[in-house]
């Protein structure tokens, strides 16, 4: 049985068990919907003219994708199965314009109005790979705005990447592609391919492959490097077939289902303890929970007041220096691009964007762990001992909260579905990282593009050829880097502080919600105990039986035989 079916089967059996004791779990229902509706997006990425569209056309055995697209009109194109052929062009506000295949020229002319395309096609090859969905991505060397939007969108949505490098145009992994691989490998698994190998002698292809293999050692890449000729569709089919769907579903949903189980099991424990204990003991626990909620609120306000002192200053300074360090490390390459007038601005943008994304992810992972730990410490005195709820309930709550946030930061949730769930507590956490990566990056890149041509033109007109490199190097250190540092220092604190506050609120709400749920569980069970339950011992026995069956089910399907610790 596939992991997807196992997960749905676990949910079905869990629902059947808990309905017998009048327990409901909205999070479990949401997880069920996500598993049923999830799409496994596989972007095909590479430089412009690396052969992405040709490869996908070869796989489809049909010339569906145009290979005559310019970098300025390139849009990410999702290949989806349908009984009829048509195109949906998706705008920034998610509004959709529908076109026929014959309207592709019109779409190209309006490319700036759209963020990506959905190409629906009646093609058996597309149907065969479901739930995988291929995406033909714009080249890395597309204009800044197109590339930024595409890579940000599909790092969120993609679950696996196919990376192409042309043997003709490149011959080795370019600095730009290495940077893109660093971002991709930080978030996702990938397969690396060398395209257009039919245009090179076999001995030269093997040399390129060996060199590329050495370059990929920095990414712990252990899979085969796939060689693609002008008929690489079969190779792509093999790549797609080799993707372990069970692992993808585990990455997406296993922690979430374990958290669901933890919460349901805790609910059953609470009901049992409420029935076994006196009303006075139950009321004492309720009062203790109320007191803990006040402590959480006070702690939250204290943390928000100290955001800048505790989190921002040290993190922002080190983040800025890491970005500047990446620029300095690549300055020789940037100088060559400036001399050749071959996309200095784009490359500088890539360096800033990639280093920002990776560093912000690390920073927020550490910050979220610290916030969770601070809240956990605040609740350590909460005493559930008389209610027979395990001493590590707070620890498990903190751990599940930390996993929730980290998975959000790693975009391992089904991003589009989360954004559509307005009340989903994870939304703010994901938005935090994306807001920093986009809202901070855009004005920085914009100001660089404005002042950069003036600086470079001045340098190149003034200098003789032998002095040109030194002049450009000086301009980078005395004009470009100071302006970037100044812009980062202006922009980062505003967004950084706001998003850390969001993160504090998200984590606080997670703790608060679980405590409120616990209080309501006790109050509801008390009410049932007073009004409805005639045979308390029989009800306790039923709850314990359901609890044991659920533990067995979770061990078999989620923990794979690992001994489960009851709450």
Q: What is the pLDDT along the chain (567 residues), one digit of tens a residue?
A: 699 999 999 999 999 999 999 888 888 998 999 899 888 999 999 888 888 999 999 999 988 887 666 665 578 899 999 999 999 999 988 899 999 988 888 888 888 888 899 999 999 999 999 999 999 998 876 665 666 667 777 877 889 999 999 887 667 888 888 888 988 888 889 999 999 999 889 999 999 999 999 999 989 998 999 999 888 999 999 999 999 999 999 988 998 899 899 989 989 988 998 888 888 888 888 888 888 899 899 999 999 998 888 888 888 888 889 989 999 999 988 888 888 777 777 788 778 878 887 888 788 888 889 999 998 888 877 766 666 565 678 888 888 888 777 777 665 333 333 333 434 444 444 444 444 445 545 555 555 555 555 555 655 555 565 577 888 888 889 888 888 888 888 878 877 887 788 888 888 888 898 889 889 989 988 888 887 767 888 889 999 999 999 999 999 999 974 444 444
CATH H-level, domain 40-243: superfamily? P-loop containing nucleotide triphosphate hydrolases (3.40.50.300)
Assign 133 to helix, strand or coil: strand
Find the helix or strand (DSSP H, E) in which 299 lies.
Answer: helix 279-305
β-partners of residue 98 are 88
Residue range(s) of every CATH 3.40.50.300 domain in the chain: 40-243
Regarding pTM above 0.75, the answer is yes
Tally Cβ neighbours within 10 Å of residue 479.
16
Cα distance between residue 224 and residue 189, in whole Å: 13
Give dist(CA 232, CA 226) in Å, integer: 10
User: What is the distance between the alpha carbons of residues 213 and 216, in angstroms, rounded to a whole number?
Assistant: 5
The C-alpha atoms of residue 415 and residue 29 are separated, in whole angstroms, by 17
Question: How big is the CA angle at 355 (ends 335 and 432), to the nearest 5 degrees?
Answer: 145
Cross-strand partners of 80: 120
Q: What is the pLDDT of residue 425?
A: 46
Q: What is the pLDDT of residue 549?
A: 96
Helices of type H across 379-440: 393-409, 415-420, 427-435
Residue 567: per-residue pLDDT: 44
- Give the tokens for residue 293: 């909620």
Q: What is the pLDDT of residue 421?
A: 41
Rounded to whole angstroms, the maximal C-alpha distance in the chain is 97
């Amino acid at each position: 049985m596939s992991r997807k079916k196992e997960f749905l089967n676990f949910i079905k059996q869990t629902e059947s068990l808990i309905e017998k004791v009048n327990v409901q779990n909205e999070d479990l229902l949401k997880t069920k919907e996500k598993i049923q509706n999830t799409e496994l997006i596989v972007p095909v990425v590479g430089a412009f003219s690396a052969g992405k569209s040709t490869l996908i056309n070869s796989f489809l055995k049909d010339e569906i994708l145009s290979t005559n697209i310019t970098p300025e009109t390139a849009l990410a194109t999702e290949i989806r199965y349908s009984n009829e052929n048509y195109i949906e062009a998706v705008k920034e506000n998610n509004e959709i314009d529908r076109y026929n295949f014959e309207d592709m020229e019109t779409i190209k002319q309006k490319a700036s109005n759209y963020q990506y395309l959905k190409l629906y096609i009646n093609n058996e090859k597309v149907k065969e790979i479901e739930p995988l969905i291929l995406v033909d991505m714009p080249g890395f060397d597309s204009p800044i705005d197109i590339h930024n939007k595409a890579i940000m969108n599909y790092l969120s949505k993609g679950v696996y990447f196919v990376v192409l490098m042309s043997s003709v145009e490149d011959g080795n992994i370019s600095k730009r592609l290495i940077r893109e691989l660093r971002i991709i490998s930080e978030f996702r698994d990938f397969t690396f391919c060398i395209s257009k190998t039919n245009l090179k002698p076999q001995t030269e292809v093997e040399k390129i492959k060996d060199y590329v293999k050495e370059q990929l050692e920095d990414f712990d890449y252990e899979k085969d490097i796939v060689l693609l000729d002008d008929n690489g569709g079969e190779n792509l089919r093999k790549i797609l077939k080799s993707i372990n769907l069970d692992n993808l579903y585990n990455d997406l949903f296993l922690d979430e289902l374990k958290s669901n189980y933890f919460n349901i099991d805790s609910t059953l424990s609470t009901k049992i303890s409420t029935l076994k204990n006196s009303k006075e003991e139950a009321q004492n626990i309720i009062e203790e929970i109320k007191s803990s909620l006040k402590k959480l609120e006070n702690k939250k306000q204290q943390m928000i007041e100290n955001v800048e002192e505790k989190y921002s200053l040290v993190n922002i300074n080190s983040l800025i220096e890491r970005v500047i360090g990446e620029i300095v490390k690549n300055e020789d390459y940037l100088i060559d691009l400036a001399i050749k007038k071959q996309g200095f601005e784009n490359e500088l943008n890539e360096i800033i964007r990639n280093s920002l994304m990776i560093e912000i992810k690390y920073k927020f992972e550490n910050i979220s762990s610290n916030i969770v730990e601070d809240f956990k410490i605040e609740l350590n005195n909460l005493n559930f001992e008389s209610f027979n709820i395990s001493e590590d309930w707070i620890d498990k709550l903190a751990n599940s909260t930390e996993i929730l946030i980290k998975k959000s930061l790693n975009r391992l949730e089904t991003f589009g579905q989360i954004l559509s769930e307005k009340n989903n507590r994870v939304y703010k956490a994901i938005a935090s990282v994306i807001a920093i990566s986009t809202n901070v990056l855009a004005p920085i890149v914009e100001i660089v593009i404005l002042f950069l041509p003036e600086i470079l033109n001045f340098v190149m007109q003034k200098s003789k050829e032998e002095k040109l490199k030194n002049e450009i190097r000086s301009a980078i250190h005395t004009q470009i880097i100071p302006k970037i540092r100044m812009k980062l220092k202006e922009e980062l604190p505003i967004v950084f502080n706001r998003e850390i506050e969001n993160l504090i609120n998200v984590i606080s709400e997670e703790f608060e919600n679980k405590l409120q749920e616990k209080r309501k569980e006790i109050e509801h069970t008390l009410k049932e105990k007073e009004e409805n339950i005639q045979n308390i011992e029989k009800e306790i026995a039923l709850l314990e039986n359901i609890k044991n069956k659920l533990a067995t089910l979770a061990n078999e399907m989620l923990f794979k035989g690992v001994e489960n610790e009851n709450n």
